[in-house]
Amino acid sequence: MKYLVFDSKKEASKEAYKILKSLIDENSTLGLATGSTPTALYEEMIADHKAGNFSYKNVKSYNLDEYVGLKPEDEQSYAYFMKEHLFNAKPFAKSFLPNGMAEDADQECERYDKLLEEYHVGLQLLGIGRNGHIGFNEPGSSFDGKTHKVALTQSTINANSRFFDNEEDVPKYAYSMGIGTIMKSDTILLEAFGKNKAEAVKAMIEGPVTPEVPASVLQNHPDVVVIIDEEAASLLK
Ligand code: GLP
């Protein structure tokens, strides 16, 4: 696992975009992440697209996850987030997300896994949760997992409550692409910024590979680039 440390999120995101651009072409399929971490990278993508330097018109994308019970029009849904931060400015050929409003959870997971078979994800973008989760694969998730419905941990609910008016509004469940699927992508680009990610980053890079720290599985992937700022790197040896 290779990691690069930068002074600021802005600088780090510029580098992340350079790496992204070097790895994809107009026909690529991207795995996309939500959260505050990738927003600056998405701004870089939009700026370069607007400048006419890169066309994404044949690019396909799959998102990692979605809250159960939120409609695409709900401002806290990941469908809404993706529109706001990327898709409105730069639509791809096709973009897929789990459907948080699906009536039957098992059928929804099967549907998403079928969709995931259509295109191979060349580059998967990831953030990391404070407890080491990737997507919404919480501690204890199987390393072989496919799409599944997850009961969110209290740590994740607390961390994500900043996007909601009240903590009680944070959904208790989500659909997440599984770790087995994430690991099939050719390259993984994980970004992490800020002091509150330092412990998870240390455990991911220097700790044992264990389901208790889902991101530690990335030590087993042949091509992972971790982009972090000084604060997120502060506990590394
Ligand atoms: C959520 C998402 C993850 C994301 C994590 C970190 O739980 N499901 O994909 O990596 O939060 O979020 P942030 O980037 O806001 O710190």
160 in contact with ligand 1, CB cutoff 6 A:
yes
HSE-CB of 23 using CA atoms within 13 angstroms = 22
CA of 133 to the centre of ligand 1 (A): 8
Q: How far apart are CA 128 and CA 179, in angstroms?
A: 13
Percent of the chain having pLDDT more than 90?
95
Mean pLDDT of 47-63: 92
Collect all residues with Cβ–Cβ distance below 8 Å to 159 and sequence separation of at least 6: 129, 130, 196
Which atom of ligand 1 lies at the shortest distance from residue 128's CA?
10
* 100-112 mean pLDDT: 98
Question: What per-residue confidence (pLDDT) applies to 56?
Answer: 85
The rounded Å distance from CA 127 to ligand 1 centre is: 6
Task: Give per-residue pLDDT as tens, 10-33.
Answer: 999 999 999 999 999 989 999 999
State how beta strands 148-151 and 173-176 pair.
Answer: antiparallel
Q: How would residue 54 be classed by pLDDT, with cut points 50, 70 and 90? A: confident
Residues serving a catalytic function are 65, 131, 133, 138
For ligand 1, whether the C-beta of 36 sits within 6 Å is yes
Token pair belonging to 184: 């099939």
Predicted TM-score (pTM) above 0.85: yes
Ligand 1 neighbour 129 (Cβ under 6 A): yes
What average pLDDT does this structure show over 69-74? 96
pLDDT digits (tens, 9 = 90+) for 135-181: 999 999 999 999 999 999 999 999 999 999 999 999 999 999 999 99
Q: Provide the pLDDT for residue 55.
A: 85
The per-residue pLDDT for range 194-221, each reduced to its tens digit, is: 999 999 999 999 999 999 999 999 999 9
Q: Closest ligand 1 atom, CA of 33? A: 9
Cβ–ligand 1 contact at 124 (below 6 Å)? no
